[in-house]
Amino acid sequence: MSEPITHVLLIEDNPIDILLIRELLSKRKKTVYFVEAVNNLKSGLTFLQKEKPDVVLLDLFLPDSQGIKTFDTLYAQRLDIPIIVSTAHEDENAALLAVNNGAQDYLLKGNITSALLSRSIKYAIERKKAENKITYLALYDTLTDLPNRRLFFDRLSQAFSRAHRYQTKVGLMFIDLNKFKAINDNYGHEMGDYVLQTVGTRIKCAVRETDTAARLGGDEFGIILQDIKDESDTNAIAIKVINAIKKEYRVKEYVFNIGASIGLSFYPTDGKDENDLLNRADKAMYLVKKSGNNGYCFCSSDTVSYV
């Protein structure tokens, strides 16, 4: 049985400390450590754009960044990777502040042993896994694996900021499934859950990578459309989403057909905050829903476009 390999990114500018870390980790028998070392924060950030190590060992005082700013800059880029900070005794307060800001642990130079370093890495990785799981449960819908309502509103707020900065628009697409209730009523929630999972996958595949698809609750979904220059650009996306949803759903010997009613609103023309935009998209969706057909409607118009 091969020994497990732990990939470590070491961001450290002192050649002696780099050699020491490599030597201390090489003494461990039960785990093989592969250490990639860079000597400044910029190089560390560049590395993390291409690779995903198991853990980062970060010196807080580097040629291009000093103190807690070093950690905060790195943490903002890769929140999903555990970070252990290291510093000299006289800078321990900076290390403690880094832990308060999200670092998994800190080490004081001069006091690092092979066992201490190995244990710190192991615990940091396990703690981060637990932390990521808690974050996932708080921000994602466990049935469809899409962002939930909370994360949807957070990303909507971020999209507003981006639109304001680049003078573009944000589209909000509110989706309610047609004929879904009958599946739950006649075939049970297990069958309904399967359909919802499939809908989530189809919606995600139908939108652009820059957009956010989310499950808002029950059989309601939302999509944030970023960098919209003209509202008519969303027609093709709405049609693509509806066509994806209304394809047949096959489960064992059963075949289901559902559809979608979609309402659209836009920031900043239709609303100045998240609730305004969602409420206006909801009202537009209801116009489509009353017809009983698959289609979409802009909140600025009473005209429903059927698909």
Whole-number pLDDT of residue 301:
87
Cα–Cα distances in Å, from 215 out to 195, 199, 248, 298? 13, 10, 20, 20
Number of other residues whose CB lies within 10 A of the CB of residue 210: 11
Same domain, 206 and 228: yes
- On the question of pLDDT at 233 being above 90, the answer is no
Share of the chain above pLDDT 90, in %: 83
pLDDT tens sequence across 102-126: 999 999 999 999 999 999 999 999 9
* 3-state class (DSSP) for residue 271: coil
Residues annotated as part of the active site: 219
Per-residue confidence band for 170, with pLDDT thresholds at 50, 70 and 90:
very high
In whole angstroms, give the CA distance from residue 188 to residue 251.
13
pLDDT tens sequence across 32-44: 999 999 999 999 9
Same domain, 153 and 30: no
Per-residue confidence band for 223, with pLDDT thresholds at 50, 70 and 90:
very high
Whole-number pLDDT of residue 13:
96
CATH of the domain at 10: 3.40.50.2300
Structural domain count, the chain: 2
Same domain, 298 and 154: yes
Whole-number pLDDT of residue 231:
84
Same domain, 272 and 133: no
**Mean pLDDT score of the chain:** 93
Same domain, 155 and 296: yes
Range(s) of the domain holding residue 226: 149-306
In whole angstroms, give the CA distance from residue 281 to residue 304.
13
CATH of the domain at 201: 3.30.70.270
Rounded to 5°, angle at Cα 274 from 168 and 131: 100
In angstroms, what is the C-alpha Rg of the chain? 25
CB contact at 8 A, 174 and 252: no
Quickly tell me which residue has 């900076």 as its tokens.
94
